[in-house]
Amino acid sequence: MTLFAEFMTPNGRRSSVRAHTTGSPCQADDDDADPVECRAVRAAESGPVLAALPEVTLPELRLLVVGGEALAPARFRHWIDRHQVANAYGPTEATIATHVAPHLMADNQPAPLGRSVPGVEDFLLDEDNQPVPDGQPGHLHLAGVGLDDGYPGLPDRTVDAFPRLGIGGRAVRVYRTGDRARRRPDGQLVYAGRIDRQLNLGGVRLEPEEVEAAALTLDGVTAAAVLAEPAGGRDVLALHVAVPCGGSPRRHCPRTWLACFPRLPSPPVSTCTPRSR
């Protein structure tokens, strides 16, 4: 198992390199680095990857940045008790990192998303695009540097996702994240779920409606429902379908077909439960 990180080399240079999670010598991409002496200084991993890593000791590690999905800090107590662990939040449409909670505690419930990074503005709005009071959940909108131009070839979707709103007496181009959040008294945001049914499994964003629509194209399937369900200590995408009475579950099981569907990532499609009518 390897960890992608930034390393301090003996000559004082920093290099983005690979390290074995044993904490012993790393393999540096910097030709000047001595692989026997370089040690991890900072590292970034997604929550699912970090959870899968062995709980090893990395004495030189100073900062571990985690992101990609909502975090349960207690799950990462080993790392939080030994290192500074930061939670990073941000969608692809805003160039990944828009908020950082610099120091997670194992008893944070839930983990804060943090404050916006320099150059980024956040707005928590109600259904009328008006700011909600601090402490109340609202739809998180982002503005500022790093905002994408939109979705190539999808003008209608771009207009819907990147509107220009009147906020605080000025016109602001924003990105509607689809995430709900509330602001703590210290200014940090806390994730409060989605305004739609979108799922995030292992850092992969999935639209249940797209999976259900694909399942309904299968012969004999009369209804379909997609849910995130726990399995083996993690959430997986579970597809439940209804087939006519007397139908063969094996014949109608859509798992293999959906795994090849070009718009669906195959790894999260892990279970199917046919129901006869």
What six digits make up the tokens of 164?
């220009």
Superfamily of domain 115-194: Luciferase; Domain 3 (2.30.38.10)
Domains in the chain: boundaries? 2-113, 115-194, 199-276
Section 18-36 average pLDDT: 42
- pLDDT surpassing 50 at residue 71: yes
2-113 CATH: 3.40.50
- pLDDT surpassing 80 at residue 52: no
Spatial CA neighbour of 177 closest among 122, 112, 257: 122
What six digits make up the tokens of 268?
């999260």
Section 111-124 average pLDDT: 95
Name which of 103-112, 149-158, 163-172, 205-214 the model is least confident about.
205-214
Domains 2-113 and 199-276 share a fold: no
Superfamily of domain 199-276: ANL, C-terminal domain (3.30.300.30)
- Write out the E strands in the chain: 2-8, 14-20, 26-27, 39-46, 63-67, 84-89, 99-101, 112-116, 120-125, 138-144, 164-167, 170-173, 175-183, 189-194, 199-201, 204-206, 223-231, 234-243, 269-276
